[in-house]
Structure 1
């Protein structure tokens, strides 16, 4: 809630800048014709029932580690935060360690500001491969949230932003997914599957509110995780055909 003149001024400035840019949300190289699994890095995740070659998989940051137990070598798409490329905090360092030598299909890096050449060098430094790399700027991300959820979130601070996992859900919906099944995404969980730091999650309130808003708007969102179904109220995925 905006409670100060400075915050209100910041909000107005960002709104004007957003409207002047008139950005469009990021698109997938090909529309999603079937179910899409969005895989996050919460410590608990489950392989969706019925997962086969007709599903597309979007991983977030280093969450593709869980795919090894699913018998899948690489995701179709990865969404990665800009800090994971060069950041020095625990989470970023662990992300690069886990992803070293691995690959993905299309890579989308959120809010990268240093140009493509530096991005490619950063990926090369820890040996992460992709078929193509895309940069999503902050205004494209805001446009994606606005277009799909109907809510204009100008990201005034870190706590009011959607997490990268929820951005991936919005990305799948915007690009035509018939059903989005989230696994390893629980706004109320602590820690990440790829490290033992037990870091608390940011964006808890915003993520929960965004998921609730998407459900109210009738989007086909499910979870493969029983605990998330209980905590957040999403229906459990029962297999392909549920999306019909």
Structure 2
């Protein structure tokens, strides 16, 4: 399996602001102080979205597609990637986490494994790594901890450029489960420059950044589309 972009994440949950609508002023330019809150509120109001993250590193290109349903205290997610023709998937519903990968199970009748924090280190680590890749959108929470923040119009959208101070952002758990304080310390990371494209409806449409030698371009769409995310059937779980 190719190199994952993110290692084990710190415990945390996405805190999305409850909202009945969007940001209130369509087309308004966001400030550093209100960027994360207003974008998250707009996403929460839609209830669901899809992200397609393309990771480019020395080993090649991988694509990870995630459907996200923003319900309850934590988002339900279903993500899938294909490395060298091998499919890996992860599903989280109501806090329960399941993954499918040849390193977890080689039984075609029972390809899924449930995450067990008390289970084997290999299984727990791999499942957590897969789950991390569904959390790209959490990076917007770092805006408040950016050492630089600017915006520029781009047609009907606005591109926000920021340089996130990773030690400060992860210490505050502002990045949710996507980047942990442990990862930042282990890899001696200091900052990450990010370009975030946001529509006039305050919905995130693209994230672009490079971290630890991996370039990531993530597109976001399908906002508000019906999505069903379900755990694997009992007969499919090893």
TM-score normalised by length of structure 1? 0.29
- Higher helix proportion: 1
- Higher strand proportion: 2
TM-score normalised by length of structure 2? 0.29
